[in-house]
Chain A
Amino acid sequence: MDTPIVAVRNLCKTYRMGEMDVHALRDVTLDIRPAEFVAISGASGSGKSTFMNILGCLDVPTSGSYLLDGREVQKLTRDELSLVRNRKLGFVFQSFNLLSRTTALENVELPLLYRRDVTAKDVRARAEASLQAVGLGERVLHHPNQLSGGQQQRVAIARSMVNDPVLILADEPTGNLDTRSSIEIIGLFQGLNRRGITVVLVTHETDIAAFATRQVVFKDGRVIRDEVNGSPLDAAKELARLPKPEAVA
């Protein structure tokens, strides 16, 4: 098999809250191979977000090792981590985390602006193509507060994919959306996954996890189940089965 994109060994994360230690992650060991579509689920407080933040190089573990695409993350400097987040990773949050008072296009352009090797013309073209791919080609000049939740999450996905990352991490991207928008968003992730991008997605809902090729379940900071889903659902087919909505999200 291929070398793993993510190789996590004995990962622990402990938060100190005054006198008490909160063990958010206890000894997590996990490999994720290229082009996998992993769904992580588990009860609230089981450590899913903590795990995702470490995978996304936004946070550091208390102990254990994490190899991203063959590189040991603990050894990277702050600036190198910024570079990794910029080039290899795409992050999608439950609360969208778009810059308000900034157009959809500018939000998507943001990761490109932090690299020196893309010309202004390319920045615009790539951001537009990215928005086109998530079906928002018509809304490039709208501000986040002029878009629905589903549309805002599409902007966030367009932003996460604009730098051609190897790994996209999504922490409950459908948590704030209705069923139809959720499946549409999942469809976008499936599309990215079929292009070879590894996707790790956190979800509370088992019907959403059913779209993934692998299901991992967390409990009290540990992985309690990890199984391959031989027959993942297809978002396009599921959408067709849903009753027609009055207005498209």
Chain B
Amino acid sequence: MKFSALLLIAFRSLARNKLRSVLTMLGIIIGVAAVIAMLSVGQGAKSSVESSIASMGTNVLTVFPGAGGTGGVRSDAGTTSRFTEDDVEAIRKEAEAVRYITPTARMSAQVKFGGQNWRTSVYGAYPEYLQIRSWNLASGSPYSAAEERGAAKVCLMGKTVVKNLFGDSTSPVGQTIRIKNLPFRVIGVLEEKGQGSFGQDQDDIIVAPYSTVQKKIVGGTYAQNMFASAVSEPAIAEASAQIDEILRRRFHFGVGDLPDFTIRTQTELAQAMGSVSSTLTVLLSSIAAISLLVGGIGIMNIMLVSVTERTREIGIRLAVGANGRDILLQFLVEAVTISFCGGLIGVALGVGASSLLSSLQGWAVKLSPVSILIAFAFSAATGIFFGWYPARKAARLNPIDALRFE
């Protein structure tokens, strides 16, 4: 029998029991939608993680105070830092794999310009901070090493702060703002970075010389963190080892001891963030697998019912000369038609679901034709796998038994 004729038989038989056919498709619809969502979310998450890692800077290492735990990024709350500028200086001199290093001091503070008020993060760091984070200026110029040494009251401003203090009309460069009531001259505006790895606004920031922030705003002696970059990507591990070695020596920790500082590399951060998206991928793929399985069993069930209902029809077809293969194909095509239609609806639903997810998560939708193809392949395979047994059962009927069936 020709394929087109088999397809016609399948469609007629499905159209005869519309509700039943749609209900049977449900499992496949959900399964395929999950496959599509999984693939596009996986892709989207991957590329958003990649870009947020890139926005952190290149070959970055961070040194936190406190004993390191495994897993995510830890906060420095509750642990006191002992990092001094001398430690930074020692690392700069001795660690060959480290290109730039800066201590950082951070504080949330109220900033004012004219009648405008805005609460933002004030970051104190050496001028190298911009190189470590590969952060360029949109306008103005960075502060110099001399300004750093002299604790000059100058600052660089992130786009969000600019928007809130100056609006869109006036240029902030050259203006004087007040941070904690101290006058600071704005000498540059930072380029826009957008959302960070954890959804925070990276442009809601003011960067000023470390000495200024430490002495005049934070009022402490120790740096909160150290922020460094390695000379190259392969050198990250070496840089980490060198920093570890220097700090252990300065803080008097033996080789086997657990130090009270933690070094995190960009690679580790990437892994931590990647694990979030891979958890989501595992979740979605198990939903997909389970619903394809349930959908497949549903198809098998309905096809067994259909074979029983149509035993006489099978008998008639055998009596006029159909062979086992014709009957097998007829029911297999029917099963695959169900799963394929389910797949079609599932793809549409999956595209919708993933664009919804991406708009909620702020991830770019990456819907490749390959993932649609994979989804179709899955649904067709489900149809063939679960349609096979009922179809074979039909094909093995004896003509006389089938004709006598009531």
Contacts and interface: CB of A to CB of B under 8 A. Distances in A.
Interface string A145-162: 000000000000001000
A101 B324 contact: no
Given A97-B316, A113-B5, A83 B399 contact: no
A129 B315 CA distance: 25
B49 interface: no
B128 to A, nearest CB: 79
Interface in B1-32: 1-2, 5, 12, 16
15 contacts: A58-B318, A58-B400, A79-B323, A79-B324, A83-B323, A87-B321, A91-B319, A97-B319, A97-B403, A99-B316, A110-B316, A114-B1, A114-B321, A114-B322, A159-B320
Contacts, number: 63
B357 to A, nearest CB: 44
Interface in A82-102: 82-83, 85-87, 91, 93, 97-99, 101
Given A99-B313, A101-B16, A113-B1, A85 B400 contact: no
Contacts of B398: 59
Interface residues of B, number: 23
B399 A58 contact: yes
Interface string B312-349: 11011111111111100000000000000000000000
Chain B CB within 10 Å, residue with most, of A79, A82, A91, A159: A82
Interface of B: 1-2, 5, 12, 16, 312-313, 315-326, 398-400, 403
A59 B400 contact: yes
B326 A114 contact: yes
Contacts of B399: 57-59, 85
B323 A58 contact: no
Contacts of A57: 399
Q: Is the interface of B mostly helix, strand, loop or mixed?
A: helix
A57 B313 CA distance: 17
Given A82-B318, A82-B323, 9 more contacts: A58-B399, A78-B324, A79-B324, A82-B322, A82-B324, A83-B321, A85-B320, A85-B399, A97-B403
B16 A113 contact: no
A75 B400 CA distance: 18
A159 B317 CA distance: 12
B321 A82 contact: yes
A85 B399 CA distance: 11
Contacts of A59: 398-400
A19 to B, nearest CB: 22
Contact of B312 (A85, A86, A97, A110): A97
Contact of B400 (A53, A111, A163): A53
Contact of B320 (A79, A86, A120): A86
A145 to B, nearest CB: 14
A49 to B, nearest CB: 10
Contact of B319 (A58, A83, A87, A101): A58
A194 interface: no
A54 to B, nearest CB: 9
A110 B5 CA distance: 10
Contacts of B1: 113-114
Nearest to A160: B320
A200 to B, nearest CB: 15
